[in-house]
Amino acid sequence: MYKITTIGGDGIGPEVMEGAIAILEILDLNFDFIEMEAGKGCLKKNGTTIPEETIKSAKKSHATLFGAITTVDNEKSPIIVLRKNLDVYGNLRPVKSFEGIDCLYPNLEFYIVRENTEGLYCEIEYCCEDEKTAVSHRVITKKASEKIIDFTFKQASENKREKVTCIHKANVLKKTDGLFKKIFYKIAKNYPNIKAEDYYVDAMAMYLVQKPEDFDYIVTTNLFGDILSDEAAGLVGGLGLAPSGNIGDKHGLFEPVHGSAPDIAGKKISNPIAMILSSAMMLDFLNEKYYANQIRIAVENVLKKKKIATPDLGGCDKTMDVANAVINELKNVL
Ligand code: NAI
Ligand code: MG
């Protein structure tokens, strides 16, 4: 029996979560889904964007599924609180194109690994007394850098990929990114069969558009990883198809890359595939690789057939139509 904390959140979060859970429920696995709250709606109801019970439940579960939340000014970001509390330091974001999806690059498969616990997301910010200056701290530690870089090389080695690319801005951020880059080449020595290279983040923003097929695994700090992964999602069909896993030594938290999409929330037309593929990543984490792969095959089949699709992919179907199409495909492949 797997205890899974589910946090739908705000906007399209609960819709895509419903689709993913419907799929997990047909597998021959035993899940106990524990529904918890976080986000803007939760703040209105409970006075906090992330109640203690939500954090406790996530800590006690085998894994957590997270939909999306709407950010509230001057309030804690639930996803950042969860990532820190669960110490899920590795944010693994696959970038993959699918047959049937009209996109810039039809044959891509690479991975962005984003450091998840520090950098500019430490939330150490203040306004000076004169209120004319605001300051944000960017913290890079040896410990967190070693962990994320080693995590990336391990993933690359397990997946038999050739190269890890380190992204930084060490020409300007000489201390912080200087440290990150130095640690990168130190760890790279432990993986002699994997090629190591580095680029500045501004150049990388261009290379991702010009030659994305050149990359296998990309490792970078928190903010750069956040930005580059949305850019990368744009190469392969958009945010509706982009899953992610937040992985630590003990815990795993799985969520689509997208946010709460207020522009389409409530219409039930959000694409659930990013959330469904995130739940497949959760099954990988739980070592249920067979079911994880079957879900991916079922999703690929739905996309390939192009019969059912939400508006972001040019269709006119609803969130649950897509989820049900995946269920039907899954029944054929299980
Ligand atoms: P967003 O990712 O919510 O939406 C960007 C665009 O992509 C919108 O046009 C949206 O309609 C579309 N889109 C996103 N997911 C989609 C899906 N599954 N199916 C179809 N279309 C989809 O980013 P945005 O608009 O910048 O942020 C909205 C809110 O979400 C903000 O409050 C933001 O802070 C929050 N946010 C939360 C995240 C999280 O919960 N982890 C991550 C990113 C943003
Ligand atoms: Mg983002």
In single-letter form, the type of residue at position 330 comes to L
DSSP at 120: G
What's the domain range around 267? 1-89+247-334
- 37-64 pLDDT per residue, tens: 999 999 999 999 999 999 999 999 999 9
| 333 band by pLDDT with thresholds 50, 70 and 90 | confident
129: domain CATH number is: 3.40.718.10
DSSP-assigned letters across all residues of 267-285:
TT----HHHHHHHHHHHHH
Are 193 and 142 in the same domain? Answer: yes
Which of 235, 269, 289 delimits the end of a domain? 235
- Asked whether residue 223 falls in the same domain as residue 161, the answer is yes
Which residue lies with its CA nearest to atom 5 of ligand 1? 261
Q: 256 with 293, same domain?
A: yes
pLDDT > 90? residue 130: no
For ligand 1, atom 38, which residue shows the shortest CA distance? 259
Q: Quote the CA–CA distance of 35 and 92 in Å, as a whole number.
A: 24
Structure pTM?
0.94
Based on the domain organization, do 217 and 142 belong to the same domain?
A: yes
Q: Which of 235, 267, 292 is the last residue of a domain?
A: 235
- The verdict on 148 and 223 lying in the same domain is yes
For residues 117 and 228, membership in a common domain is answered with yes
- Residues 113 and 203 both lie in one domain: yes
Question: Strand 90-96's sheet: what is its strand order?
Answer: 31-36, 2-9, 63-68, 252-256, 243-247, 90-96, 109-115, 217-220, 163-168, 195-200
The answer to whether residues 241 and 233 touch, using CB atoms and an 8 Å cutoff, is: yes
Q: Give the model confidence (pLDDT) of 99-124 as tens digits.
A: 999 899 999 999 999 999 999 998 89
Query: Among residues 208, 235, 262, which one ends one of the domains?
Result: 235
The protein residue with its alpha carbon nearest to ligand 1, atom 25, reads: 261
Q: Is the domain of 213 the same as that of 305?
A: no
Whose tokens are 């974001």? That residue is 93
State if residue 274 touches ligand 1 by the CB under 6 angstroms criterion.
Answer: yes
Identify the band that residue 76 occupies on the pLDDT scale cut at 50, 70 and 90: confident
Q: Is the CB of 220 under 6 A from ligand 1?
A: no
Confidence band, pLDDT 50/70/90 cuts, at residue 281: very high
Closest CA to 147 of 69, 253, 59, 248: 248
Residue 75 resides in a domain: yes
Share of the chain above pLDDT 90, in %: 96
Atom of ligand 1 nearest to the CA of 271: 19
